[in-house]
Amino acid sequence: MTNNADINMSLDPVTVQTLQTISTATITTILLKKGLRNVWLRGTSPIRPGQPRLVGRAFTMRFVPAREDLATTASWNSPTSTRAAIEAMPAGCIAVVDSMGVTDAGIFGDILCARIAKREVTALVTDGVVRDLAGVLQTGLPVWCRGAAAPPAVASMTFVDWQQPIGCGGVAIFPGDVIVVDDDGAVVIPEALLEEVLAVAQEQERLEAWIIKQVELGHPLPGLYPPNEANLERYRCEQS
């Protein structure tokens, strides 16, 4: 197992603050314009209402289908275990877990989520489910997932690796990719496109806020959304 320890998992505070003002919906639109259609992680919904929009680099973890000689309670003490991976998580990251969309076994329960929260991990994102739901909620760890199930992960899965490329919710995630989560779910910004997204994201939000205002004033949608040149000129004049 190689854990890519040389990956820089920190994010500039200004980058974090900027992305916290940009919705995942806006980010998907920006990335669509750049040719990326598959950046929204399916099945990653907030576990509780009111979770804030959060930003962090992806710390990846991967499960495969259970194999009886490996998916045992003894595996919990293996050097390649969820416990070991949690201890490798840096503060500020977002743990992104490929659990193959399995919904009949929870990848983590209250104790593991409490430790993740103690390590100051920003959030947990998975295309599967958690267990011990009441306890997980009490930890305060922000979670995006498909829900909850009572059985432990070893009932259906074998944990195999961390800090390697994974597929989560049908999306390719590489260690260090930037993850943004909000009420609409989780979105990945590839590291190579981060600066381009930052360059246009705030302006896109301002433009869309202006469009909403025009809708509230009774303007029709054709030529307004998306704006034609005349409406863009009106927008620019009002912003100046």
Report how far Cα 22 is from the mean position of its chain's Cα atoms.
14
Residue type (1 letter), 123: A
CB-count burial class (<10 Å; 0-12, 13-18, 19+) for 192: exposed
pLDDT score recorded for residue 6: 57
Note whether 62 and 165 are within 8 A (CB).
no
pLDDT score recorded for residue 125: 98
CA 131 to CA 154: how far, in whole Å? 12
Q: Which domains does the chain have, with CATH numbers?
A: 13-192 (3.50.30.40), 196-239 (no CATH)
Q: Residue 187's beta-bridge partner residues?
A: 40, 180
Question: What is the chain's pLDDT, residue by residue, as a tens digit (240 residues)?
Answer: 445 555 778 899 999 999 999 999 999 999 999 999 999 999 999 999 999 999 999 999 999 999 888 766 666 677 779 999 999 999 999 999 999 999 999 999 999 999 999 999 999 999 999 999 999 999 999 999 999 999 999 999 999 999 999 999 999 999 999 999 999 999 999 999 999 999 998 898 899 999 999 999 999 999 999 999 999 999 999 988
Return the C-alpha torsion angle 124, 125, 130, 135, nearest 10: 30
pLDDT score recorded for residue 5: 53
User: Do strands 143-145 and 123-126 pair parallel, antiparallel, or not at all (unpaired)?
Assistant: parallel
Residue 171 CB: number of other CB atoms within 10 A?
21
Note whether 107 and 76 are within 8 A (CB).
no
Length of the chain: 240
Residue type (1 letter), 227: P
What's this model's pTM, rounded to 2 decimal places?
Answer: 0.90
pLDDT score recorded for residue 185: 98
Note whether 55 and 180 are within 8 A (CB).
yes
Q: What is the end-to-end Cα distance of the chain in Å, rounded? A: 55
Q: Residue 63's beta-bridge partner residues?
A: 159
pLDDT score recorded for residue 1: 42
Helical H runs in the chain? Answer: 13-19, 24-33, 82-88, 110-118, 133-139, 194-216, 229-239
